[in-house]
Homo-oligomer: A and B are copies of this chain.
Amino acid sequence: MMLRSLRSAVATTASLAAVGGAMAVMAAPSAAMADEGMWTFDNFPVQTVNQKYGTHLDQAWLDRLRLASVRISGCSASFVSPEGLILTNWHCVVGCSQELSNPQQDYVKNGFTARTREEELRCPGQTAEVLTEIVDVTARVQAAGQGLEGAAFNAARQAEITKIQNEACAGDDTFSCQVISLYRGGQYSLHKFRKYDDVRLVFAPENQAAFFGGDPDNFNFPRYALDAGFLRAYEDGKPAETPTFLKWNPEAPKEGDVTFVSGNPGSTSRLLTMSQLERLRDQQLPVTLIQNSELRGRLLEYSLTGDEAKRVSFDPVFGLENSFKVYYGQQAALTDPEFMAAKRAEEDELRAKVAADPNLVQQIGDPWADLARVQTTATELYLPYRQLEASAGGGSQLYAWARTLIRAAKNPTMTEAQRARLSEAVGAETPVSTDMEEIRMRYWLSKTREYLTVDNPQVKAMLGRESPEALADRLISGTKLTDPAFRRQAVGMTVEQLSAADPLLAFVAGNDQAARAIADRWAAEVNAPTARAAEKVAQARFAVYGTNQYPDATFSLRLSYGDVRGWTYRGVTVPAFTYMGGLYERATGSEPFNLAQAFADNESKVNKEVVYDFASTNDIIGGNSGSPVVNADGEVIGAAFDGNIHSIGGAYGYDPELNRTVSVSTAAITEALRNVYPNPRVLEELGVR
């Protein structure tokens, strides 16, 4: 599943054209700008913050916030009661709502409210993880793979990482352990999590309340979105005990109030070298934008064919349009001459400082040149790697299951326990739209033929004498993988049995060797040398600028600081707050600017003066969705759900003048639970009267 990204309302002057247009580049760390950084909890600049904002943060404050912060699938969240109640975004639970829905009961459209604990419904596959321990394992990881190259290097590194993880978790299923790469390999941290496997849906508003303004307003501000939802962690069938939780503060912050965002930013690329950025700009991003746009067109036309088509395509279209905006904004940043010139100056400075220090040169060599060479290989391998492996199946769930099953059957080292977990994972009651699956498959097959050419041996093997459309139809209409029982049963079968039993499994089995071959080449010829060289760049950076730096985002827990603030772009000032009354003013009656039913029905009860959404200077990125926004006292005052349009370029650099986090206020959530979706049960649990 994709990393959930953040969303946003339109600033009157902001347009896609404006993305990245005035972006500053992250300055060298020694001169770090205020409010910049997605800091690890073990390297947070406490003194800087206390000095700037007059706060009194200490280790206990940090520990409490960390232990109340929750990582869920692709998103961030927090405990807000001692009984496992979790605050996150609506858009982080909508996938669950969609999976629990059917043509008769649409929780996406109508929202979901469990009136009692018994009505809380388990979200298939959802987990909740709390970061309990951070251990520096850099030396162990970097020692592994010394002197090795390519596949051998990868294998040695992976073996050591697996060993560290296994040792740390020691088979205890209530924990999960993950070695996290930081600073692009400059540091490795073991993160140990308390893990909850049973997570249930408590509350989600109507999509039209949460996603008012839809794609047009996404990544924009002012914004009027109740992008909030509640889950609950369960243990042994009972609500989990979570004594460390964030106190719910139903008051909105004031302009200039300090704000902290604790969550899991998914991925930034601020530490990439110029040659890496240029390959993204010239190949990967354009191809992704172009292909995704065609899929978007296909899904949009399908969504208009009927109510059920609209229902099943809602979340996939949402996700696709969201990532489109992200990639478009990233491309805008990378084609901005000023921005790229600043990045180049930054790199030149670092390289010059390295060159001036013979010891350093001897230690790290010239990793920039190494990375430039890797880009030549990456450019050569990217299209087959993308089409045959990385984006194979075009997002088809059935294809993904088929590949998982085939690869599991081929894996001689799988344990019984692993098989059991696999069976549970693939056997979940996940609804599948075969219409959508077929669209994705024919899209993927036709793009693969287009980009690799019809005479490519892999393409020929894949299509045989069939057209992409006919093949997609045969595979999807013929597969039994829509049946959870069959999927569970399939876990125990051999490749030959799987292939004999099902056309899609046979198709995947027949093409798996080619897919694995290109994946192996990518790993050995791109990933391995990139890891080695990036590690050297990181060492150079540490040597030149010291350790008061934050690493690129890697979907691991980070803390950012800032304050509540609007911004000014091209002479237009966008204020920091919206109010609930603004929703009614912006509504036109036409999708996606129509009022949610409950907001329309309860207009007279809603306090229109309540702060709805607000902007702050916190440095965040996709994956931070659902992150608690806390005040200096560590109380939760909102849930981050988006960045403004300028924040998208934040993938490559933070601009303090323009980058903004957009959050839904606890004040608005409280008001909604009082007067729009009355929910005394949750209000009481939050301690609100």
**For the complex, is A597 an interface residue (Cβ under 8 Å from B)?**
no
**Can you list, as one digit per residue, whether each of A311-355 has a CB less than 8 Å from chain B (1) or not (0)?**
000000000000000001001000100000000000000000000
With A296-B297, A439-B301, A590-B466 known as contacts, the answer to whether A451 contacts B290 (CB < 8 A) is no
Which A10-27 residues sit within 8 Å CB-CB of chain B?
A: 10-12, 14-17
**For the complex, is A302 an interface residue (Cβ under 8 Å from B)?**
yes
Decide: A216 and B297 in contact? CB cutoff 8 A.
no
**For the complex, is A241 an interface residue (Cβ under 8 Å from B)?**
no
Decide: B286 and A217 in contact? CB cutoff 8 A.
no
**Can you list, as one digit per residue, whether each of A281-321 has a CB less than 8 Å from chain B (1) or not (0)?**
11100100111011111111110110000000000000000
For A216, list chain B residues within 8 Å (CB).
Answer: 449-450, 453-454
Which residue in chain B gives the minimum CB-CB distance to A295? B297
Which A445-461 residues sit within 8 Å CB-CB of chain B?
A: 449-456
A483 to chain B, nearest CB (A): 26
With A301-B302, A450-B215, A469-B304 known as contacts, the answer to whether A455 contacts B12 (CB < 8 A) is yes
**For the complex, is A467 an interface residue (Cβ under 8 Å from B)?**
yes
Pick from B220, B439, B453: contact of A14, CB below 8 A.
Answer: B453
A282 to B467, CA, bound (A): 35
A444 to B429, CA, bound (A): 39
Most chain B beta-carbon contacts within 10 A, residue among A282, A301, A302: A301
Which residue in chain B gives the minimum CB-CB distance to A281? B335
**For the complex, is A171 an interface residue (Cβ under 8 Å from B)?**
no
Interface size on A, residues (CB 8 A): 58
Chain A interface secondary structure, helix, strand, loop or mixed?
helix
Decide: A452 and B15 in contact? CB cutoff 8 A.
yes
A454 to B588, CA, bound (A): 12
**For the complex, is A470 an interface residue (Cβ under 8 Å from B)?**
yes
**Can you list, as one digit per residue, whether each of A589-607 has a CB less than 8 Å from chain B (1) or not (0)?**
1111100000000000000
Which A252-296 residues sit within 8 Å CB-CB of chain B?
A: 281-283, 286, 289-291, 293-296
**For the complex, is A383 an interface residue (Cβ under 8 Å from B)?**
yes
Decide: B293 and A297 in contact? CB cutoff 8 A.
yes
For A163, list chain B residues within 8 Å (CB).
Answer: none
Pick from B281, B298, B301, B590: contact of A470, CB below 8 A.
Answer: B590
For A463, list chain B residues within 8 Å (CB).
Answer: 590
For A383, list chain B residues within 8 Å (CB).
Answer: 15-17
A11 to chain B, nearest CB (A): 8
**For the complex, is A465 an interface residue (Cβ under 8 Å from B)?**
yes
For A456, list chain B residues within 8 Å (CB).
Answer: 15
A595 to chain B, nearest CB (A): 12
Which residue in chain B gives the minimum CB-CB distance to A336? B282
Decide: B453 and A10 in contact? CB cutoff 8 A.
yes
**What are 18 A-B contacts defined by CB distance under 8 Å?**
A10-B454, A11-B455, A14-B453, A216-B449, A216-B454, A283-B335, A289-B289, A290-B290, A294-B296, A294-B297, A297-B298, A298-B298, A298-B301, A301-B302, A301-B439, A463-B590, A465-B588, A467-B592
